[in-house]
Amino acid sequence: MTPAEKLPIVVLVSGSGSNLQAIIDAAAAGLPVEIRAVISNKPGAYGLDRGRKASIPTRVLEHTAFEDRDTYDQALVKLIDEYQPALVILAGFMRILTAGFVTHYQGRLLNIHPSLLPKYRGLHTHKRVLEAGDREHGATVHLVTEELDGGPRLLQVSVPVQENDDEDTLAARVLTQEHIIYPMVIGWFAENRLSIQNGAIALDGERMDGPKQMTFNQTTAL
């Protein structure tokens, strides 16, 4: 497969970029994507190092250099669009995005969230799950809309909560599953299996009325 046949994507990171690494590894194993750039709002983000090691162009656009959120997001859109991505991937990009940014990339902006949405939107999901005494946790890949963690859900994986779990052990277990499901959904886009028309989402020609479901350690492709 030539680069022209691969789905062009840009990945945004703020931290370690482990989900970015999962996408890089999946691309090396045959996922038909071309990662055209890794962009961060933090110059020290380890995700940038992951990009450089994979010979992917990296860029930094520090939010602290801008007077407000709108001005930053406008500059970020301009930077992203230099790479003409078909899909923009949020991989631990710790910014609340403006309506203008989300609208610009409507239907092609993906995020992964460490909970079984719509439960536990926002931060500190692992702590909140433990405090609630839940026996099940998980992660969700979803399209991004103006509503925080409220966009259409595409794929969820459930993860068991063990009796001796703390935030770190639970987070680690969820993260292993994030690394499976995020490249999987990106593959749906890259292989033209997912379509979005007039707000309706279909996978393999069948309308999705809710997210596809996976269970812990299930690694077979949907």
Residue type, 47: G
Q: Which of 105, 101, 185, 97 has its CA nearest to residue 139? A: 185
Are residues 155 and 211 in contact, defined by beta-carbon separation less than 8 angstroms?
yes
Output the CA–CA distances (angstroms, integers) from residue 211 to 79, 94, 108, 116, 184, in the order listed: 31, 24, 17, 10, 13
195 three-state secondary structure: strand
Are residues 13 and 40 in contact, defined by beta-carbon separation less than 8 angstroms?
yes
Known active-site residue 142: no
Which of the residues 113, 126, 137, 142 is marked catalytic? Answer: 113
Extract the tokens encoding 121. 């939107």
Structural element, H or E, at residue 143: strand 136-143
Q: How is 41-93 classified by DSSP, letter by letter? A: SSTT-HHHHHHHHTT--EEE--GGGSSSHHHHHHHHHHHHHTT--SEEEESS-
Report, as residue numbers or ranges, the catalytic residues: 113
